[in-house]
Amino acid sequence: MEDSYLHKGLREKLVDEIQRKGIRDERVLEAIRKVPRHLFMESSFIKFAYKDQAFPIGSGQTISQPYTVAFQTELLDVRPHDKVLEIGTGSGYQAAVLLEMGARIYTIERQKELYLKAQTLLPKLGYKPSFFYGDGYQGLPTYGPFDRILITAAAPAIPTTLIEQLKTGGKMVVPVGGSGSQVMTQVEKTGPDKYVTHEHGWFVFVPMLKGRE
């Protein structure tokens, strides 16, 4: 598991590219600069790791495009020590980016194989989120409330159960829509039973599914 100067150079170029595409938050760019994305990918795709594209990670799922990871992370607006719930661990790459920013991460995955893989890989790279195998629609009521919730799969509608697990003043970022494309939505909880939403353009995610596999 090597992170060479070549990889670091490729990451630098990737950071330039997503910066040109509009990512401004220095803390997000710095995190992308640090996380060795190639170590989160399947062997046949490693050589493409620093392309700004999504790739298969097994179980019919994908590691999100770096620009999309950066865009969601920027909207999430995490502060150091924030307690963050991530739905859709997948490869664990997004969780690693959030950990680089100093957040405390609770991450849920419904595909057993991916959950087990991430749980083995991340600690080896020095990343220590709390891993959960389960259905993200349920959230983690006993661990909440959270400062931030990030959903990395397409939700058919805003999952209101999860808003209940958000602190007042907290934020949730979720791609909302059907199978074609989804609207990146930032939800801000303004009171115990109140929230406002802001929409931020179209993206394509794998679907958020019910239950576990």
Q: How far is CA 107 from CA 4, 22, 100, 193, in A?
A: 28, 27, 15, 25
Applying CB under 6 A, which residues contact ligand SAH?
61-64, 87-88, 90-91, 93-94, 108-111, 114, 135-137, 152-153, 206, 208-209
- How many beta carbons lie within 10 A of that of residue 24, not counting itself? 9
Residue closer to ligand SAH by CB (options 190, 206) is 206
What are the φ and ψ backbone dihedral angles of 34, each rounded to 5 degrees?
-90, -35
Q: Is 91 tagged catalytic? A: no
Identity of the residue, 150 or 191, whose beta carbon is nearer to ligand SAH in the bound complex: 150
Closest distance of CB 83 from ligand SAH, Å: 18
Q: Are 203 and 177 in contact (CB under 8 A)?
A: no
Which of these is catalytic: 64, 91, 130, 179? 64
Structural tokens at position 207? 């679907």
**Strands 104-109, 130-133: parallel, antiparallel or unpaired by DSSP?**
parallel
Nearer to ligand SAH among residue 4 and residue 161 (C-beta): 161
- Min separation Cβ 120 and ligand SAH, Å: 15
Residues noted as catalytic: 64
